[in-house]
Structure 1
């Protein structure tokens, strides 16, 4: 196991700069996810940690050893790819043992490592099968087993679940998390799925356009996003964001399009007239006679919850989730108030002190 230190790292492809001074500290044994939309630079950064991409500027250290010029095979890392990358002509046993064979590992030691990894991943009955005889989830476990047998200092996962169906993704998510809890190996996991990031990680790094927007524990990012990008990206359904300004007589209130007024409940950080964006999580909205009006356009019962999608008088979309079962109808107008709000500067997008 080892810590990973990323210091002011830049990456350029010709004249195009992809990463702009990324700095991240990953502790020994920590599970960290790099999350963000496609093109944000997360996979490029992972490949730079693995040594598959060069570093334009900056420094990457694994276990306090700078690895900028160290060959990938000398970094003591193991990478699990999105497409499994299994050899079709080899059995599961042979695929898992292949890297050990290249290192001239003694057969007895290799067999022991493969058997141990197969037991951890419930692959023992499948060791003599070929990849074509396996399901998608089983192939992914074989790819993970091939990484485990190397006993690396760091595991790198590059969107390993994106090829699986929804039910299998949930199952594999739990298996990867359980595997980390058992092995305690430093793990860096790249995904564009914020649900994966929230449920699996000890720490999340949110990236956007080649920079780090925020680093923190999952619930820290959910409860106190630093800016509008993190607020809109973390959470499903996404946070409702309404544009307006600070106003009101006496107690400050949010004044939005269409005459919407929402009490700020003692929120501070902006003077009257300041353009702001009000953020409300869907689960923090409730029915209230004194709330702002929303005309329902879609009703989505999920079983555990009822979700409505509606529109304010100012034309802004709002999503609300209710645990109680209500008989909502499209076209119906309801009034909603918020239990908890977030406030962001309308010009910079940064969180205000609320």
Structure 2
């Protein structure tokens, strides 16, 4: 069982702390994604797991064995880097089998493992080519093949798709997902792209400034963000936020925006402290157009074919809406919109934390 345990791990460079007391457990065979903005510490944490960075304090365990003082080559992990790190003077087959060769694995076994990995990744016809003769996607598959032949306990991916164009990134995401479904090897994947995180992960670890903000299944993190940071980082287009206060309405609590006076009915009475300022969050796809909704001014309309994104303004509040149906509004026209009450999020404006009354799954 290659479960991975990160327990109270810290990393400091002198007085500068980059990883602050992180604890995460990744069960055997799970695909975990470390996601967060640049500089949040996710790549540093991955390198600590791999043994490429020393741990200031805490423990990293694989299958119950403490790895802190184990050298990288003895950790039984395979890492796929952002820049492929292929040897230009070696063929695809030689690149894939090199780690086995220097470990004195018999030639017949090397050929067998390379052949198996090449079959999994559809690299058979390319085994005699050199890296310069390959496309970016092919090079990334070779880098993945080099990891597969080692049959490690843990796969580590450090932003492997960041050098690829948008279309190829989508294709490679599918290949990596299929690869994991086939091999079921414990995997830790680093990215700053939250779409990659949502589509690939069994478990998402959201990081900011060396701290884990939330851990959970993709839809759990999406539907129940623990705080404003997670709510704004996970999701594209990003969640809309409005600052305001809660007031008592007829049979239900009402949110009132500070900047424009926009009111939003919350669909039920809340017991939250009315004296504390709050932040209302609503995702762009959770608006509907309705004649009895709030009249807003259309600012920008963007169509993708499958959806229409509309930026609207109410007073000084600007809101992004995303509709699956075709919306024929034009800039300057009026559009009446309303949020779906069950999809509203409320956060404490001072702490940024989700109000307890909204700790629930969307229905």
* TM-score normalised to structure 1 length: 0.98
Q: 1:210 to 1:93 in 2, by over 3 A?
A: same
| RMSD (Å), alpha carbons | 1.0
* Aligned match of 1:201: 201
Q: Displacement, 1:269?
A: 5.2
Give the counterpart of 1:279 among 278, 281, 286.
281
Q: Displacement, 1:223?
A: 0.7
Q: After TM superposition, list the pairs within 5 Å mapping 1:33-72 onto structure 2.
A: 33-72=33-72
* Aligned match of 1:319: 320
CA contact (8 A) 2:36 2:42 kept: yes
Provide the aligned length of Structure 1 versus Structure 2.
Answer: 353
* Aligned match of 1:252: 253
Q: 2:10, 2:325 → 1: CA distance?
A: 50
- Please state whether the residue corresponding to 1:171 is helix, strand or coil: helix
Q: Displacement, 1:291?
A: 2.5
Is 1:232 the counterpart of 2:235 in the alignment?
no
Q: Displacement, 1:221?
A: 0.7
* Aligned match of 1:75: 75
CA contact (8 A) 1:247 1:273 kept: no
* Aligned match of 1:158: 158
- Please state whether the residue corresponding to 1:259 is helix, strand or coil: coil
Q: Deviations over 1:90-139 (max 9, x none)?
A: 00000001000110000000000000000000000000000000000000
Q: 1:62, 1:266 → 2: CA distance?
A: 47
Q: Displacement, 1:335?
A: 2.0
Gaps of 5+ in 2: 359-363
Is 1:294 the counterpart of 2:296 in the alignment?
yes
* Aligned match of 1:9: 9
Q: 2:142, 2:325 → 1: CA distance?
A: 43
Q: Deviations over 1:250-285 (max 9, x none)?
A: 421001021211011126352223211111111110
* Aligned match of 1:306: 308
* Aligned match of 2:361: none
Q: Displacement, 1:140?
A: 0.0
Q: 1:128, 1:119 → 2: CA distance?
A: 14
Gaps of 5+ in 1: none
- Please state whether the residue corresponding to 2:260 is helix, strand or coil: helix
* Aligned match of 1:347: 350
Q: 1:115, 1:269 → 2: CA distance?
A: 64
Q: Deviations over 1:69-101 (max 9, x none)?
A: 110001000000000000000000000010001
Which stretches of structure 1, 4 residues or longer, exceed 6 Å deviation after superposition?
A: none
Q: 1:267 to 1:18 in 2, by over 3 A?
A: farther
Q: 1:53 to 1:267 in 2, by over 3 A?
A: farther
Q: 2:232, 2:256 → 1: CA distance?
A: 21
- Please state whether the residue corresponding to 2:176 is helix, strand or coil: helix
> Which stretch shows the higher mean deviation, 245-254 or 185-194?
245-254
* TM-score normalised to structure 2 length: 0.95
Q: 1:122, 1:113 → 2: CA distance?
A: 14
CA contact (8 A) 2:260 2:317 kept: no
Q: 1:248, 1:176 → 2: CA distance?
A: 50
> Which stretch shows the higher mean deviation, 233-242 or 334-343?
334-343
